[in-house]
Amino acid sequence: MTGSVLFVCNMNSVRSPMAAALLKAEAGSALRIDSAGVYEGALDPFVEAALGEVGLAIAGHEPKTLDQVRLEDFDVVVALTPQAAEEVRKRRPGANVEVWNIENPSGSAGGREAILAAYRAVREDLSERLARRFKALFDRPAY
């Protein structure tokens, strides 16, 4: 089992904090989990809404860039965009990078419900991928 996981997307405002929150909910203290972005961003309020629907809160999340984390401190880096993967590999050649190309819902159009539906779809996509990748954590009994 991996001991530490870093999720990276472009701005650490939607996909990577969502992935980190979802995995933390399953892993508890079994893994060290963090997230970062290639560029500086701000937390997207629709992320809080989509996670809140499944009982998770990330109101205290402060987006950070790759400059603010030590890539060598993570066993696995999950890049949620091709650009994030490229940047991680440039900064740390040989790093264990998994690439999950996750849709960015922040450009969704329509009213609040239509936009929130796009964020829900990303949440579900991430949840399914996390359950497959970290199967042992998701299959363990709840205490």
Tens of pLDDT, residue by residue over 113-127, are: 999 999 999 999 999
Q: Is the pLDDT of residue 143 over 60?
A: no
| Domain-located, residue 115 | yes
- Domain of residue 36, residue span: 4-136
| Domain-located, residue 32 | yes
Higher per-residue pLDDT: 142 or 78: 78
* Average of per-residue pLDDT values in the chain: 92
Which CATH number do you get for residue 31? 3.40.50.2300
pTM confidence score: 0.92
Given a contact cutoff of 8 angstroms between Cβ atoms, the answer to whether 123 and 17 are in contact is no
Given a contact cutoff of 8 angstroms between Cβ atoms, the answer to whether 59 and 48 are in contact is yes
Tell me which amino acid residue 97 is. V
Tens of pLDDT, residue by residue over 40-65, are: 889 899 999 999 999 999 878 899 99
Which pLDDT belongs to residue 29?
A: 87
| Domain-located, residue 61 | yes
| Domain-located, residue 38 | yes
Mean pLDDT of 15-19: 97
Tens of pLDDT, residue by residue over 30-42, are: 899 999 999 988 9
Which pLDDT belongs to residue 60?
A: 81
Cα distances from 71 to residues 99, 117, 137, in angstroms, run: 15, 33, 23
